[in-house]
Structure 1
Amino acid sequence: DNFLGTLGGPGITVPVVGAAFEVGIELAAGGVEVNLVVDASSEFRTTSNVIANSPAGRDDRVVVVGAHLDSVAEGPGIQDNGSGSAAILEIAIQMANQQISPRNQVRFAWWGAEEAGLLGAQHYVDQLSPRDIKDIALNLNFDMIGSPNFVRFVYDGDGSDTPLAGPNGSKNIESVFLDYFAAMSLPVEPTAFDGRSDYGPFIEVGIPAGGLFTGAEGIKTPDEAALYGGTAGDQYDPCYHLACDTFDNISLQALDEMSDAVAHSVMTFAMTTSAVNGTDKGKGLGKFKSDMEYRGSHLVK
């Protein structure tokens, strides 16, 4: 029960098992008798992405707003990633209820099989034509935005604080989030484009990306606890990929604050007349100006 692994798909004929580090120490010490029973299956399964387009908006400047639908087998996934999926679903519902007609088409995407290796998002990007790729202005990704021991993380679009920058235009996406949180007097921290979520396939083909995250198995530092509250020395999400990832595992404060920022970013890019990636060359650079004004997450003009 220590691992839920895969070698990539059916057809692998080399037997492979894994053991926890503590078990490895015992084996290395010698004099240990091991009885090994493997109960495993290898099969093809089918899942789906769920994609919904706004009926209005420029289809050559599409805003793809994504969150993954699946969870790991060990847990119900209310935080990972019911939090992000629910946030973008509510935004889609409110856009419809308020009959908002975006200038740029908004494409809401709930990805399947993220936990199996970003398979849903990768499939989607793989079937895009060069024209389709050019028509996507940006990808916004929201994966885990209600961690109980949270920090407000913003993807570091320009690579100014982390080793990797996003494609040209990602800096402008980051700036929208940073400006919003600054206006709300809420501190944030940078997080790197490490390829662990569904933005990965998008940035691989040069599509600008950005998003929010409240932490997974990382450990909260004393400085972070002083700034955000919570418990230093504990994981941001103590139930990450575990059976206890239930509704009790959500910080409603984090979910509320981050969801407002999600709504702000979606509406900003849905309504802008500026090109997200600007005219500058190089990763993370660009000259983006939103011509929309917000009070909190509410559009005022």
Structure 2
Amino acid sequence: MTADQVMPHLEALQRIADRDGGNRAHGTVGYRDSVAYVKAALDKAGFRTSLHRFTHDGAPGYNLVADWPGGDPRHIVFAGAHLDSVPDGPGINDNGSGSAALLATALQVAKANLKPQRHLRFAWWGAEESGMVGSSAYVRDLSPAERARIDVYLNVDMAGTKNIRNWLVVDDDPAAYAAFEGYFTARNLPTFAIGIGGSDHVSFGDAGIPVGGFATGLDECTHVACDRVENIDPQTETVSTNAFISTVWQLAASH
């Protein structure tokens, strides 16, 4: 995966924010247009997509869920990222960058016509900036049997931070941690292990579902108007995307 394969998704999210009032926050046209953009790409690639609806702060909210046909439905590798921004800015690093890395991963699955052993599911969460509302609503609506079928949830939140010091890798699920850590260390890239906390995977971890994932850390434009596409380091975004692709491939390949 190269920068010119993932950066266009970030540029598209920037254009959406620019034409829809400067942000992509819950309850706005910018967020709905962001969902429509990602859904159209997934539908074209052959995913089964659905909208999981919830209400927050008097406004309808939407999680976009996409299943790749095939794989053992009793064993699900679930990958996600939050798609919404705050009202004060377009949220291109937080978390257009994670959403773009996730979309690029899903499209690579389709391009390869991957035949995974475990079922692959992807999701883009809404209203996460309001306190992980979308992901917690999704997990809450799962039956106990549905929760039990999720072997691991992988999260990516802020994947393109400039002047990165290290990749912050969630160390909950051993296989996910080993896969992400292995990818970065094999390339002499610095990492720092973190526990469950601070992003969308908390909703899954709190429900007893093993979690993994990573972030590239906060920057000075987090939650403000300058979090634009110019705030992204294309090289960091590309490395993050390839790390996510590699880990999804590994975990999907075996029970």
Answer yes or no: same fold by TM over 0.5.
yes
Corresponding position: 1:106 with 2:88: no
What is the deviation of 1:253? Answer: 1.6
Q: Tell me which residue corresponds to 1:199.
A: 201
Alpha carbons 1:81, 1:143 under 8 Å: kept: yes
Extract unaligned runs of 5+ from structure 1. 1-41, 158-165, 217-236, 274-301
CA offsets 1:116-138 (integer angstroms, 9 cap, x no match): 11111001100111111110000
Structure 2 residue 183 is matched with structure 1 residue 180: yes
* 8 Å CA contact retained: 1:155, 1:193: no
CA distance in 2: counterparts of 1:153 and 1:98, whole angstroms: 27
Residues 148-163 of structure 1 mapped to structure 2, 5 A cutoff: 148-157=162-171
- Of Structure 1 and Structure 2, the greater helix share is in 2
Contact 1:154 1:177 in 2 (8 A): no
When Rg is computed on C-alpha atoms for both structures, the one with the higher figure is: 1
Residues 168-192 of structure 1: CA deviation (Å, up to 9, x unaligned): xx12211111112222222212233
Larger RCO: Structure 1 or Structure 2 (Cα < 8 Å, ≥ 6 residues apart)? 2
Q: Secondary structure at the match of 1:115?
A: helix
Partner of 2:228: 246
Please tell me whether the aligned partners of residues 153 and 191 of structure 1 are also in contact (alpha carbons under 8 angstroms). Answer: no
Determine which of 170, 192, 205 is the counterpart of 1:189. Answer: 192
SS in 1 for 2:119: strand
Cα offsets for 1:62-118 (capped at 9, x unmatched): 011000010000010111100010111111112112211111111010001100111
Q: Distance between the aligned counterparts of 1:254 and 1:43, measured in 2?
A: 35
Specify whether residues 66 and 203 from structure 1 end up closer, same or farther in structure 2 by C-alpha distance, changes over 3 A only: same
| Alpha-carbon separation, structure 2, partners of 1:212 and 1:191 | 9
Taking the aligned partners of 2:250 and 2:164, their CA distance within structure 1 comes to: 25
Other-structure match for 1:263: 245
Deviations 1:235-265 (A, max 9, x none): xx11010100001100112111111101011
- For residues 151 and 111 of structure 1, the distance between their equivalents in structure 2, rounded to whole angstroms, comes to 27
Q: Report the 3-state secondary structure (helix = DSSP H, G, I; strand = E; otherwise coil) of the residue aligned with 1:176.
A: helix
Is contact 1:151–1:189 with CA below 8 Å preserved after alignment? no
**Deviation of 1:43 (Å):** 5.0
Question: Aligned with 2:92: secondary structure?
Answer: coil
Q: Equivalents in 2 of 1:263, 1:63: separation in Å?
A: 12
Distance in 1 of aligned mates of 2:246 and 2:61: 31
Within-5 A mapping of 1:80-95: 80-95=94-109
1:219 aligns with none
**CA 1:172–1:97: 2 relative to 1, 3 Å:** closer
User: CA 1:156–1:99 in 2, change beyond 3 Å: closer, same or farther?
Assistant: closer
Name the counterpart of 1:171.
174
Question: Is the Cα–Cα contact under 8 Å of residues 117 and 253 in structure 2 kept in the other structure?
Answer: yes
Partners of 1:259 and 1:156 in 2: CA distance: 16
| Runs of 5+ consecutive residues of structure 2 not aligned to the other structure | 1-55
Which residue type is aligned with residue 266 of structure 1? Answer: V
Identity %: 40
TM-score, with structure 1 as normaliser: 0.64
Q: Following superposition of structure 1 onto structure 2, how do residues 23-62 of structure 1 map, counting pairs within 5 Å?
A: 44-62=58-76
| In structure 2, distance between residues paired with 1:77 and 1:106 | 27
Question: Which residue identity is paired with 1:203?
Answer: G
Which among 110, 113, 116 is matched to residue 130 of structure 2?
116
Going from structure 1 to structure 2, the CA distance change for 1:112 and 1:43 (only over 3 Å counts) comes to: closer
Tell me, yes or no, if the aligned pair for 1:154 and 1:174 is still in contact at 8 Å. Answer: no
Equivalent residue number for residue 97 of structure 1: 111
Contact 1:53–1:107 (CA<8 Å) still a contact in 2? Answer: yes
> Matches of 2:140 and 2:166 in 1, distance apart?
31
Q: Paired residue for 2:215?
A: 213
Alignment match, 2:33: none
